[in-house]
Chains A and B, each alone.
Chain A
Amino acid sequence: MSKSYEEINSKIESGDAVVLTAEELKAAVQEKGVERTAKEVDVVTTGTFGAMCSSGAFLNFGHSEPPIKMTKVWLNDVPAYTGLAAVDAYIGATELREGDGMDYGGAKVIEELVAGKPVKLRATAYGTDCYPRKNIETYISLRTVNQAFLFNPRNMYQNYAVATNSSEKLLYTYMGKLLPRNGNATYCSAGQLSPLLNDPKLRTIGMGTRIFLGGGVGYVTWEGTQFKTNVPERNGVPAAAARALAVIGDLKQMSPDYVRGLYFHKYGWSLGLGIGVPIPVLDEEVVKNLAITDDKIFAPVLDYAVQSRARKPVKEVSYAQLRSGTIDINGKEVRTSSLSSYRKARDITVELKKWILEKRFLLTRPVEPFPAEQVQKTLEISSRTEA
């Protein structure tokens, strides 16, 4: 049994496609087995909603009168990068507002834009013969700008660590507030709903894949930064952070339900982002991968009290254990928290399923596959000859 992308899309267009969410698919396989499910189902929707720090948006503000070639740009007093053409800028999610600590950042600017709010634009310039203006202060919104698109170098990590803290002091990290003496443990993958855990070798997901991004339509543009494949596997899926994707999408289509500024106390800002990926049921192999459940997906528990990139895992735990509310660390029952929202991940799988059933969303064959093997490098202190 095998189906092509074209067959699946023509079924979507004629209204005959059978579309299940990842949760529904897992239940179907348990009930009917792989073979029958592969015959009956055409598309499965996966989703995740979590903190994705490596995110940001390109904006083109339009030209002022007289025109300006912006050399410094601030949005609600958060610096944006503008080492580009005259009125292009990139606002990064983790950038902080200048001058007053951490209480406002780039991710919040992006959230406010998506919510339709006006944002204060301030820019300075050195002035040229063709761009005489030297400063400007005005308000912009998604209605006033030409282009506004998210362009995120690393999103939807395929699995990630579980964080705990063995030290005597409270730690504030990007994995949240970690209580002393292994007082809690936090995790951040959507587990069995997560897109890249449902297609672990990225057979159907590649460059150009059309996705649900922040409530609008987006695309996969590249391998994510720090994409790697050399991690331990359990039950055919990576048991640590492995692959990731770079994605792009129109901010003007997005919804504040799925684009949120998140603030991690004493750490900084991150973008809470919802992403959904449809998996075409090409054959039984695809269904076998989709059948994976939380009890078969494992993650390493890392001690964030160790301030080193070379932390050794304390142990491995399954997502079923994590979701039960407690895990065991050195004989102690430790309570768990998720940083990603399973509720929102599930909402995304339902929403994307609806789009496909309403013929508003067709599937794409990857333009290029991503590397089958790749190692992540480290940063060393090197001389000119060593680099």
Chain B
Amino acid sequence: MKYLLFLCLPFLAGAQQADALFGQLVQKFKKVHHYEVLAQIKPNIPMIRILPVRANIQFQYPNSYKIQSAGISILPKNGFSELPQLFSKPNQFTVIASGQETLDGVNTSILTLLPLDNEGDLILAKIWVDATSLLVMKSLITSKTNGSITSTFQYAGEKSWGLPARMTFSMDVKKFKIPKGLATDINRTSRQVDAPQQKGRIEITFSNYKVNG
């Protein structure tokens, strides 16, 4: 029994470290009660043609977002507001340390968050955390309805709040199918072929943060 406990010790220590790191991230997240930021949303998604759009984003703790754009803008269904949601409910997840990885020269710890509620939409979330500056560098959110969305984060002036200067989302767009009856281009007589599996990207560049103001 003693030997078994001895063998499990490194795992227990790893789990404690992961919990501690996640706890620190949650504490940092809690410092931001409200922020307002200008965003430029630049989608690059196969089968969608749209110019970059400017938007005003307002965040209210714990996970309320209000997005006002001059025109129509496209955001990923998952990934944008999910991270604050994870941080606002830390007790609803089991945190597992999943190793280390170097991203753009930054050594990151990978944390896997498994929801305790099996009935929810979220299957798992993986976050790559720069443990020294407590910044999320990358996230992978997998849900039942929307598949996986990867987000990468770049930081500049608002590093101390943990707020990114740029977020890039990449997602699978193989499911896009145009209802034939709704898109009748009489000039086009060629038969339609389903789009091959491709990755779509949405880049959001943030500027003029007003944090807790």
User: A and B bound?
Assistant: no
